[in-house]
Amino acid sequence: MRLVNAVAMAVVTVVVGMLPLHAHAGRSCETRKPTAEVITKGMQLAERTSAALDASGARVVLLARAGQDLQRYRLQYSHLGLAYKTNDGAWRVVHKLNQCGTAVASLYRQGLGEFFLDDLWHYEAAWEIPTPAVQAQLLALLQGPSAGIVRLNTPAYSIVSYAWGQKYQQSNQWAIETMAAAMEPATIRNRAQAQAWLQFKGYEPTTLRLGALTRLGGRLSSANVAFDDHPNEKRFSDRIETVSVDSVFAWLPRAGLASQPVRLKL
């Protein structure tokens, strides 16, 4: 890939605030200087993803990456964003990133190069193409004023936030709640209404089986892990219900809102 293309795809436009030095979602919080190999692979994945998305004819997709090893939880992908094709032909991704080491997250609009410029667990992209009607609604939101994008954003972040709670919000949760708001812009004004729409459409979150020691260890060692928004009857029976990419990818085709997932590996 030519250097000029790599640089162009790595350009980031921030939706809210300035990009922090360490913004993370769906990956570890270790600070490591990217190697030439990491940069090359990330850009190659971005270039191939861009070409595949162009060939699909889609204008909006739900795009995932594999930033962490989640095999112990039987999950394949860690992070979800809303990707759309701009009028000049470039692809941009709007997604939520946690400021590493904190319980705060912000929204960002990035190129594909920046989205994949990471020390990923697997150099693999996956996406689902919404139906034309869903794409039209999402595109109107993503290309519209930033106020529409940030309306349902909750800065307080927990990587295992309760799927039906409003105290915290993780990245995948923001994506599908924002999708709900895009589908019903006249009636969905808050997160509770968005979640009611998701339940009506049959969305089912992932249930993680996390014991008391795991929960305690996570809460004490990581600022971005909290369990106090989960109902006691579920939390104390080791059932942590949260929004995963895999659960979203299973739900969208089942609900008739998108195609089956497409996967691309280097």
pLDDT digit string, tens, across residues 203-235: 999 999 874 434 443 443 467 888 899 999 988
pLDDT tops 60 at residue 181: yes
User: What pLDDT, on the 0 to 100 scale, is given for residue 1?
Assistant: 35
The gap between the terminal CA atoms of the chain, to the nearest Å, is 14
Helix, strand, or coil here: 166? Answer: coil
DSSP 8-state assignment for residue 236: T
What Rg value do the Cα atoms of the chain yield, rounded?
17
- In this prediction, residue 32 carries a pLDDT of 61
pLDDT at position 47 is: 97
Where are the chain's structural domains? 3-265
Q: What angle do CA 79, 195, 262 make, to 5 degrees?
A: 35
Least confident of 23-37, 78-92, 151-165, 239-253: 23-37
Band (6; pLDDT cuts 50, 70, 90): very low
Cα–Cα distance for residue pair 62/12, rounded to 1 Å: 18
Q: Which of 2, 9, 13 is nearest to 142 (CA)?
A: 13
For residue 133, pLDDT beyond 60: yes
Q: What are phi and psi of 155, to 5 degrees?
A: -60, -35
Average pLDDT along the chain = 85
Rounded Cα gap, residues 208 and 187, in angstroms:
32
* Per-residue confidence (pLDDT) for residue 28, from 0 to 100: 45
Average pLDDT over residues 235-256: 94
Query: Is the Cα dihedral 250, 256, 260, 261 positive or negative?
Result: negative
- Whether 144 shows a pLDDT value over 80: the answer reads yes
Here the tokens at position 40 are 């090359």
Query: What's residue 43's pLDDT?
Result: 95
Percentage of the chain surpassing pLDDT 90? 67
pLDDT higher than 90, residue 256: yes
Q: Which one is predicted more confidently, 161 or 71?
A: 161
Distance CA 69, CA 124 (A): 12
The confidence score (pLDDT) of residue 215 equals: 42
Question: In this predicted structure, what is the pLDDT of residue 122?
Answer: 87
Which 3 state secondary structure label does DSSP give 69? Answer: coil
pLDDT of residue 78 exceeding 60: yes
| pTM of the entire predicted model | 0.86
